[in-house]
């Protein structure tokens, strides 16, 4: 059994990925993102790290489950056919695999994530 220590958002242990994630397509504004992938299991099925996005909207499709702790910013998520849900700094939430809809960053978001790929 291993215990791993990661960096902090202000001092991550890895360089950020600065391109948009494959399943995120910009639809409004000029949003940008950075992803610090702090840990990935050998089989690539569990990922943890930090993420930042600037204001704008993306069309997204989740193929994995994601647990999020948002420590800065504000975002509204609208699953196709559902009412919008807004999250802000201090919120924790879970997005199930199969979510399809819009992620709208209203104020620059900084979050920690844990993703289980299906």
pTM of the model: 0.91
pLDDT digits (tens, 9 = 90+) for 58-90: 999 999 999 999 999 999 999 999 999 999 999
pLDDT digits (tens, 9 = 90+) for 4-35: 777 777 777 889 999 998 889 999 999 999 99
Which residues are CB-neighbours of 68 under 8 A, at least 6 positions away? 87, 92, 93, 94, 95, 111, 112, 113
Mean pLDDT of the chain: 93
Whole-angstrom distance, CA of residue 101 vs CA of residue 37: 24
**3-state SS, residue 106:** strand
Domains annotated for the chain, with CATH where assigned, are 41-117 (2.60.120.10)
pLDDT classification of 1: cutoffs 50, 70, 90: low
Contact 87, 73 (CB under 8 A): no
């Amino acid at each position: 059994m291993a215990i791993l220590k990661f960096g902090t958002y202000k001092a991550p242990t890895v360089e950020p990925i600065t391109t948009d994630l494959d399943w995120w397509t910009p639809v409004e504004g000029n949003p940008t993102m950075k992803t610090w992938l702090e840990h990935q299991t050998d089989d690539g099925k569990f990922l943890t790290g930090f993420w930042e996005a600037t204001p704008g909207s993306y069309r997204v499709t989740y193929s994995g489950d994601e647990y999020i702790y948002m420590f800065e910013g504000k975002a509204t998520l609208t699953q196709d056919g559902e009412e919008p849900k807004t999250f802000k700094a201090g919120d924790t939430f879970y997005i199930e695999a199969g979510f399809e809809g819009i992620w709208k960053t209203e104020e620059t978001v900084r979050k920690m994530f844990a993703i289980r790929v299906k």
